[in-house]
């Protein structure tokens, strides 16, 4: 059976034995016939609370958070849809777009131009959030389970705060969108480190599709409430990154409805775990580096047998990144188990620890093999991974070794659809 994996910008095709194969992919949802009208309709009918135009007045300052360049948010549609509502009331120079980088690197000028387009850049100011610049942050006390809340100063001081994003299952926060566009998106490093500590990340509810009772998401909501948005605007996307539907209004009510919809669209039950799981990382822009590819591994880990094999196809054109420490952290111990032990005994949280913890836990449970055009065999070996140039051959060899009853699952869109055993 011929399968096409989302990989980079061009995709990757392979042939796998149909008689032993289960393919789990997103239920096809065509993009809205008129995406801008879909956005306008959502803004016209908020899930809860007033419409955005009812929140603004002449002279008020507006801060709008947007996803950074690793996310496929349709910013060039969502931001104009909001600005339409502000025309004639708020001047463009009173609007700032805050790139919610969290602890990611700043987006370059060229990346921002690609994300937003020249017309928007000429209209409004765009600022990269910097979690490490204490002067750009405001301390708002402790919230939730002992979370020190440092938030972007421009966000806190704005008269009207608006989040924009998209909702999909998230590998330890449950779902993206909503409060994540405040914390960790606009949070200080100290806040992010606490939200991502070993206890929270290691909790069984810190996983795909769970928000309530998930200690990560519970405290994300609590921290975001310290500088809560006055209005939130999220979309659901299909595999072509086209808008399926949109939701707007008061953040918590809006996000709950959007998560329910995303759960129906993007999570599918399977009867039993598999011996081999082949996954992608949803292609570009999410598969730009190994740090992000942990999401694809994590999606596969939900349905792989203990001791099984995960094959993850991620282009990794940007290499390892993360935030500067990811590669060194992975290479700092002789095995995934040793990494987990070191994290559990560490006196404090350091950047990238959470991603290392998730990856090491997956590797401690299953063999993980990568297919990437940009990382060498030696580089992968350094972080306890192996490379395959031929996914089909690797799968065939694994199935032969595992026996005639061994089964393979393919997640062509990676974390765009989360399979679960139930």
- Token pair recorded at residue 265: 């669209």
CA-nearest of 113, 412, 157, 104 to 288 is: 104
CA-nearest of 120, 291, 290 to 112 is: 120
Question: What is the spatial distance between Cα 63 and Cα 381, in angstroms, rounded to a whole number?
Answer: 44
Q: Which residue is it, tokens 């910097």?
A: 130
Options 129, 170, 230, 323, the catalytic residue: 170
Options 28, 29, 104, 241, the catalytic residue: 104
Residues 6+ apart with CB under 8 A from 280: 5, 6, 7, 12, 287, 296, 312, 313, 314, 411, 412, 413, 414
Residue 384 catalytic?
A: no
Contact 335, 361 (CB under 8 A): no
Give the containing element (helix H, strand E) for 140.
strand 137-143
> Other C-beta atoms within 10 Å of 215: how many?
19
Strands 95-100 and 62-67: parallel
Residues 6+ apart with CB under 8 A from 371: 12, 311, 312, 313, 314, 387, 388, 389, 391
Residues 6+ apart with CB under 8 A from 329: 339, 350, 352, 353, 356
Residue 9, CA distances (Å) to 23, 41, 169, 326, 336 in order: 21, 31, 22, 24, 31
Contact 32, 38 (CB under 8 A): yes
Residue 170 catalytic?
A: yes
**Positive or negative torsion for Cα 252, 253, 254, 255:** positive
Strands 418-421 and 62-67: unpaired
CA-nearest of 200, 95, 113 to 155 is: 95
256-287: burial string, b at 16+ Cβ within 10 Å, e else: bbbbeebbebbbbeeeebbbbbbbbbbbbbbb
Q: List residues with catalytic annotation.
A: 104, 170
């Amino acid at each position: 059976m011929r399968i096409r994996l989302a990989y980079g910008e061009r995709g990757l095709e392979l042939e796998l034995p149909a008689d032993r194969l289960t393919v789990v992919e997103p239920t096809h949802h065509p993009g809205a016939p008129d995406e801008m009208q879909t956005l306008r309709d959502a803004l016209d009918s908020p899930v809860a609370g007033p419409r955005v135009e009812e929140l603004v007045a002449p002279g008020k300052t507006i801060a709008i958070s947007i996803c950074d360049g690793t996310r496929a948010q349709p910013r060039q549609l969502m931001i104009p849809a909001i600005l339409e509502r502000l025309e004639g009331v708020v001047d463009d120079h009173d609007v700032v777009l805050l790139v919610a980088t969290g602890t990611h690197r700043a987006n370059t000028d060229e990346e921002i131009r690609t994300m937003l387009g020249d017309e928007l850049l000429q209209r409004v100011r765009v600022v990269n959030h910097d979690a490490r610049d204490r002067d750009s942050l405001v301390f708002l006390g402790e919230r939730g389970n002992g979370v020190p809340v440092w938030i972007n100063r421009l966000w806190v001081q704005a008269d009207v705060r608006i989040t924009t994003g998209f909702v999909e299952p998230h590998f330890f926060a449950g779902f993206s969108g909503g409060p994540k566009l405040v914390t960790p998106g606009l949070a200080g490093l100290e806040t992010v480190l606490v939200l991502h500590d070993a206890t929270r990340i290691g909790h069984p509810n810190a996983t795909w599709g769970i928000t309530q009772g998930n200690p990560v998401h519970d405290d994300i909501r609590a921290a975001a409430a310290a500088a809560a948005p006055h209005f939130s605007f999220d979309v659901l996307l299909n595999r072509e990154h086209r808008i399926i539907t949109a939701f707007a209004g008061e953040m918590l009510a809006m996000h709950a409805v959007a998560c329910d919809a995303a759960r129906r669209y993007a999570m599918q039950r399977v009867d039993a775990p598999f011996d081999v799981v082949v996954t992608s990382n949803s292609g570009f822009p999410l598969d730009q580096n190994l740090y992000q590819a942990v999401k694809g591994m994590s999606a596969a880990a939900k349905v792989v047998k203990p001791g099984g094999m995960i094959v993850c196809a991620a282009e990794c054109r940007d290499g390892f990144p993360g935030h500067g420490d990811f590669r060194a952290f992975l290479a700092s111990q002789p095995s995934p188990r040793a990494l987990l032990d070191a994290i559990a005994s560490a006196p404090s949280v350091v950047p990238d620890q959470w991603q290392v913890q998730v990856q090491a836990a997956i590797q401690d449970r299953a063999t993980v093999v990568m297919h990437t055009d940009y990382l060498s065999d030696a580089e992968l070996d350094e972080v306890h991974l192996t490379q395959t140039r031929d996914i089909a051959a690797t799968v065939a060899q694994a199935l032969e070794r595992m026996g005639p009853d061994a089964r393979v699952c393919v997640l062509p869109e990676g974390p765009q659809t989360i399979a679960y055993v139930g």
